[in-house]
Structure 1
Amino acid sequence: MDSKVSNGSGLQDEHITNLLVFGFLQNCSNCHFYKELEVLGHELPAQVYLQGDHDELQTDGNRCSRFVGRGETDSESQEEIIQDIARQLAQIGDRMDRSIHPRLVNNLAMQFMNVNLSEEDRRQCLTTALEQAMQTYPRDMEKEKTMLMLSMLLAKKVADHTPSLLRDVFRTTVNFINQNLLAYVRNLVRNEMD
């Protein structure tokens, strides 16, 4: 998909979600799928990719990164805002990483390995795992933010468990967010731009 600005509303929804999930995965610590993530970044329809080395650390301890895509001049500030949101959610995800039970991750990874599952079946598997993770999660965060962060954290954990599943779990997570949390994501970006 092209990241052209439409009717002044900013990046297209799929591009926003691609940037958000990609940025989240890129900013999570202790991951074993950076090679697969770099390949994925070059394959994304919006041509989102890393500029620079993902292992290069900034003085604040974060990885040096920048998303580059088509239509940079019109959408650069929005892309930077999405990166900031992804970075903040990744930091929360890193703190909550241990709260997701390894058995839940193993089961979800095994389901994603089933090549006979449709995209809808995979999305349902992610939804079920997310519902289970939500039951043990602290209630001090708003529900939509928790769902967004946990869906991306589950994607990270599955990709970390089995790096070859990154492309599938990424696509399913983007589709899940677009179907269930898109209004929330749009509001997050809009609020950060104000």
Structure 2
Amino acid sequence: MDLKVSNGPGLGDERTTSLLLLGFLQSCPHSCFQRELEALGHELPGRLFHDEELQTDGNRYSHFPLAAETDSERQEEAVRDVARQLAEIGDRLEGSIRPGMVAGLASHFSVRSLSEEDRRQCLAAALEQLMQTCPADMDHEKTRLLLTMLLAKKIADHSPALLRDVFRTTVTFINQNLLACVRNLVRNEMD
């Protein structure tokens, strides 16, 4: 059976991307934004990670219909695995992000009057600068995805209060620009 991230009993594109970014950020245990991340995880639609939530009968909480539960759980696990793998790779690339770039992005995200589109453009500009410093032999789209999530991590680490805004902007940016990459990574992990 060929499962697609966006079709059938799948998680849906925004949910998948949110799960991927949340899993990526949760794989950064020494970050300054862990309290904010935990709160965000509880606020996201569908309670993306609910492993710790047990019902009184000992079963896991699930909002999926019973028939789709196995596929959805398998897909969630694949997304979490991809997030962990990307976080491991990100640990090696994190040093390529200059503190000045992070401070500038955090400053832009702090401006309340800045539109969501303006924030995405700031993120895109920073991403293009970073892409110029990456080795040419790395997969272009996967690297773009990884660096986008690393930028979100670094901004949230710099200014934890910006986590929600950064998270929302990053999910939207990924869905608009890198969704095919996300789908392929999850599909490959499930195969």
Counterpart residue type for residue 17 of structure 1: T
Does structure 1 retain, via aligned residues, the 8 Å contact 2:9–2:72? no
Does structure 2 retain, via aligned residues, the 8 Å contact 1:21–1:174? yes
- Greater CA radius of gyration, 1 or 2? 2
**1:75 match:** 72
CA distance in 1, matches of 2:29, 2:95: 13
Tell me if 1:165 matches 2:158.
Answer: no
**2:27 match:** 27
Identical pairs, percent: 65
Q: Secondary structure at the match of 1:96?
A: helix
* Greater relative contact order (CA < 8 Å, ≥ 6 in sequence): 2
**1:136 match:** 133
Cα displacement (A) at 1:136:
1.3
CA RMSD of aligned residues (A): 1.9
Q: 5+ unaligned residues in a row in structure 2: which ranges? A: 53-60
What TM-score does the superposition give when structure 2 sets the normalisation length? 0.86
Please identify runs of 4+ aligned residues in structure 1 that moved more than 4 A.
Answer: none
**2:121 match:** 124
**2:183 match:** 186
Q: 5+ unaligned residues in a row in structure 1: which ranges? A: 53-67
Tell me if 1:176 matches 2:173.
Answer: yes
CA distance in 2, matches of 1:7, 1:99: 36
Cα displacement (A) at 1:189:
1.0
Alignment of 1:24-173 (within 5 A): 24-49=24-49, 51=51, 70-71=63-64, 72-173=69-170
Alignment coverage as a number of residue pairs: 176
Cα displacement (A) at 1:50:
5.8
Q: Secondary structure at the match of 1:19?
A: helix
**CA 1:6–1:93: 2 relative to 1, 3 Å:** closer
**CA 1:6–1:117: 2 relative to 1, 3 Å:** closer
Structure 1 residues 15-35: Cα deviation after superposition (integer angstroms, max 9, x where no partner): 100000000000024311100
Structure 1 residues 13-69: Cα deviation after superposition (integer angstroms, max 9, x where no partner): 1110000000000002431110000000011122224645xxxxxxxxxxxxxxx76
Q: Secondary structure at the match of 1:169?
A: helix
Cα displacement (A) at 1:83:
0.4
